[in-house]
Structure 1
Amino acid sequence: MAGEKIRFGAFIAPFHPLDENPTLALERDLDLVVHMDKLGYDEAWLGEHHSAGYELIASPELFIATVAERTRNIRLGTGVSSLPYHHPLMLADRINQLDHITRGRVMFGVGPGALPSDAFMMGIPVSRQRDRMDEALDVLVPLLRGEQVTKKTDWFELNEARLQMLPYSRPSVEISVASQVSPSGATAAGRHGLGLLSIGATQTGGFNALTSNWAIAESQARDSGTSVDRDQWRLVGPMHIAATREEARAQVRAGLDKWLYYFREVAALPLAPTDGSDPVDAIVDSGMAVVGTPEDAVKQIERLREQSGGFGAFLLLDTNWAEWDNKKKSYELIARYVMPEVNGMNINRRASIEWAAANRPRFIGEAQAAVGARLADHIEKKGTENIRPEILAAMGLDKKAEAAE
């Protein structure tokens, strides 16, 4: 399958059950990004959360600064920075510094904040989070382009504010807005000409909203005098891959129930069946997740491509369903088999071997004729004393040699 190249990455919230050592869990997240870098993944996005115990990265900027020193090529994004939690100037300054120290490998994902418990602890009205995200974006976009901004709202004030350094990436670091089902993310992306992070792209509501959300982004961009690019549209969904479907299903049972518990009890998303049916069947049959083989993963990408009309990157929702070794193997299998199939990386290799096979009789005949000519020349000059009989027989020169004698 060939077409526009799709980048691959991971959206790492992360999700770590309460029975694990949190220090080691964070170290494993760092190791995962290093593993991805070696496998040729394009991007890793790191979350920001402050409550509920599972999503342990409080500062994606600190994580990025750490893992940037351990990696070479992979781009690193905040996935996402919760804008109502930060004064815009401070956040812009940190992102701009990361842009410089990573030599342009940083990306800036933004959102209103996913957990109401985070907002509650900071006294932020949940009903105002999306409004505050919009207000912050209004100043963050020009700040990160090196412009001067003056603005006063009911929660921050900027007076002739300007970053001390121009961005390393020109005209700005890449900015993407989180989106699920509601149009707020797509509207913000279109208004400012930013990328879009469709975090629930494989869940039923998010999948069905892909086309409409991109249409909203394009429409808003036209109204705002900006533009949006499908190459900066990222779709997020979970996958676990093994050699067979049976192996994959057995492996995800190590952590699936704990993951579903978090979403059922904390995040309040209806991901787990309530009728006693197998949860693996539920997430696979709904299309929300791939638990299977590389071929199943390719079909999911094709399904998303058809539904969306085209996008730039697929990000694995990192789930910790499987044990660490099996999880790393899943990432490896995706890099070895899914990426090349989706992006047509082996088209020329296949064409080359088919061409070589189709022309084998001609090539072999020419090669044998060339060798035979040299042998005949040698026999004519030196005789057959030092040539093995089977070589003469294979080349059809034994009788010619006898006749010459």
Structure 2
Amino acid sequence: MSIGNEVRIGAFVFTSRYEGQSAAEVLARGVATAQAAEAAGFDDVWVTEHHFVPFGVNPSGLTFAGYLLGRTSTVRVGTAVTVLPLHSPVHVAEQAALLDHLSGGRFDLGVGRAQPVVDYEVIGRGVEYWQRGLPEALDLTLTALSGPVSADSALYRFREVVPEPGPAPGRPTPVYLAANSPASVALAATRGLPMLLFFDKDIDTKAAMIAEHAGLARDAGHPDSEYPHGTALFAHVADDPAEAREVVRRAATEFVRASTHYRPLLDVPPRVDPGVPQERIIDGLTDAAMATHPVGPPEICVERLVDQIRGSGCRRVLCQVEIAGDHDGVLANVKRMGEEVLPEVRRRLSAE
């Protein structure tokens, strides 16, 4: 089987709010982006979950995924990610099963724990669920996706229940785990789950994480098979490299601006080092994206996507196609990706 038959390329709808935009504008753009991605030939659409920060205005990946499943007909829709320890894991499993049934099997559940921020104080049951709750929450979710579930621990305690609507016959809901550390790689591997890797990982780091996952999965007794690991990438088509850099730099600027709004509950490394001038951080983020992500003229986008897929071993690609920031620019980018980039990427991968 060629790589081309294994790879799925998706649009990552981040619902990113740029300065001066309303939440209504951003969410409408997100819906339009998902529909444009389906029309352009993307395989998947992925959505996020963010709370109490201005950059991502979607507080419920599951709700938004359900809405997009109803507004599309062929693409798969997944969460990247549902912040699992913030929520009841059994309720997450029920909602995932519901979306799977309603969509005829087009839903993917991506989960993770995100950052130890104020979300765990306001929505969750305390920062200890960030510190040690993910493995148990993940196990409860996986159990609830397949049948009866109960719990008796310091974090979760409830009598046995049978979640409804339950799994569709012969069609388990795919589950992905966001991995950003050795512990999360091991957690995904021992549960036999594929990983979702973030923008900041270079190709060699992603390949090493996937190799580590393969060894740990074998040791845990899972079949030695190819896992459909995913990677997030910035993706923007622009004939002029200077224009492409301007688009990326604007997105980096908004990311840095938004990062100042995160309110951590633990002493962890900040997303943006307050001791470094913001302009230097923005330039560094821009340089990193311009060097390896599919940003720039179509031929560069093709080369970078193919290199990322070949080199990393990832078989799911989450293209952040919204970095232009404005409605018309985003939809134009999605259209160009579908016409000028995706067909050539698939042709090259299918030839291997």
The equivalences for 1:44-193 within 5 A come to: 44-114=45-115, 116-122=117-123, 124-126=125-127, 128-129=129-130, 131-145=132-146, 147-168=147-168, 170-180=170-180, 182-193=181-192
- State the Cα distance separating 1:317 from its structure 2 match: 2.4
Q: Which residue of 2 aligns with 1:11?
A: 12
Which structure: larger Rg? 1
2:335 is aligned with 1:336: no
Is the 8 Å Cα contact of residues 242 and 333 (structure 1) preserved in structure 2?
A: no
Q: 1:305 to 1:193 in 2, by over 3 A?
A: same
- The superposition leaves residues 347-376 of structure 1 with CA deviations (integer Å, 9 ceiling, x where unpaired) of 89xxxxxxxxxxxxxxxxxxxxxxxxxxxx
Is contact 1:242-1:248 (8 Å) kept?
A: yes
Q: Cα offset for 1:275?
A: 4.1
Q: Displacement, 1:256? A: 4.6
Correspondence for 1:212: 208
**CA–CA distance in structure 2, aligned partners of residues 192 and 63 of structure 1:** 27
- Kept after mapping to 1: 8 A contact 2:129/2:155: no
Q: Which residue of 1 aligns with 2:305?
A: 301
Alignment check: 8 A CA contact 2:259 2:271 kept? yes
Code of the aligned partner of 1:223: D
Aligned residues: 340
State yes or no: 1:311 paired with 2:314: yes
Instruction: Report the TM-score, using the length of structure 2 for normalisation.
Output: 0.85
Q: Which moved more, 1:54-63 or 1:260-269?
A: 260-269
Kindly indicate whether the alpha-carbon contact (under 8 Å) linking 2:235 and 2:301 is maintained by their aligned counterparts in 1. yes
Aligned CA distance change for structure 1 residues 12 and 154 (closer, same or farther; 3 Å): farther
* In structure 2, C-alpha distance between the alignment counterparts of 1:27 and 1:35, rounded to whole Å: 12
Preserved contact between residue 15 and residue 259 of structure 1 (Cα < 8 Å): no
Q: Is residue 2:258 matched to residue 1:257?
A: no
> What CA distance in whole angstroms lies between the structure 1 residues aligned with 2:184 and 2:109?
14
Cα root mean square deviation, aligned: 2.9
Q: Check conservation: 1:178, 1:185, Cα contact below 8 A.
A: yes
Q: Which runs of 5 or more residues in structure 1 are unaligned?
A: 349-405
Q: What is the alpha-carbon distance in structure 1 between the residues aligned to residue 12 and residue 241 of structure 2?
A: 23
The answer on whether the counterparts of 2:306 and 2:349 sit within 8 Å (CA) in structure 1 is: no
How far residue 211 of structure 1 moved from its aligned partner, in angstroms, is 2.1
Assess if the C-alpha contact under 8 Å between 2:256 and 2:278 holds in 1.
Answer: no
Residue 61 of structure 1 and its aligned partner are, at CA, apart by 1.8
| Alignment-derived partner of residue 265 in structure 2 | none
Residue correspondence of structure 1 range 280-291 to structure 2 within 5 A: 282-287=287-292, 289-291=293-295
What stretches of structure 2 of length at least 5 have no aligned partner? 263-269
Aligned mates of 1:133, 1:347 — CA distance in 2: 38
- 2:296 is aligned, of 292, 298, 302, to 292
SS of 2:175's equivalent in the other structure is strand
Specify the SS of the correspondent of 2:80: strand
Query: Does the C-alpha gap of structure 1 residues 214 and 192 become closer, same or farther in structure 2, counting only changes over 3 Å?
Result: same
Instruction: Check the 8 A contact 2:27/2:57 in 1, yes or no.
Output: yes
What code does the residue aligned with 1:197 have? L
1:325-354 Cα shifts (integer Å, max 9, x gaps): 122121122211221111117989xxxxxx
Q: For 1:334 and 1:187, how far apart are their aligned partners in 2?
A: 34
What per-residue deviation string (whole Å, max 9, x for no partner) do you get for residues 77-98 of structure 1? 1211111111122111111111
Task: Report the 3-state secondary structure (helix = DSSP H, G, I; strand = E; otherwise coil) of the residue aligned with 1:268.
Answer: coil
Superposed displacement of residue 305, structure 1: 2.9
Query: Match of 1:329, as an amino acid?
Result: A
Q: Which amino acid aligns with 1:335?
A: G
**Which secondary structure does the structure 1 equivalent of 2:29 belong to?**
helix
TM-score normalised by L of structure 1: 0.75
- CA shift at 1:35, angstroms? 0.8
- Mark the CA change 1:346 to 1:340 in structure 2 (over 3 Å): closer, same or farther: farther
Q: Which amino acid aligns with 2:195?
A: L
* CA pair 173-123 structure 1, distance change in 2 beyond 3 A: closer
Q: Write the distance in 1 (CA, Å) between the matches of 2:99 and 2:130.
A: 25
Secondary structure (helix, strand or coil) at the match of 1:116 reads coil
Identity of aligned residues (%): 23
Task: Classify 1:45/1:114 alpha carbon distance in 2 versus 1 (closer, same or farther; 3 Å).
Answer: farther
Amino acid of the residue matched to residue 300 of structure 1? R
Whole-angstrom CA distance in 2 between matches of 1:245 and 1:4: 28
Structure 2 distance, partners of 1:159, 1:133, is 20
Counterpart of 1:219 in 2: which secondary structure?
helix
- CA deviation profile, 1:245-269 (whole Å, cap 9, x unmatched): 2443355566552233224664724
Matched, 1:242 2:238: yes
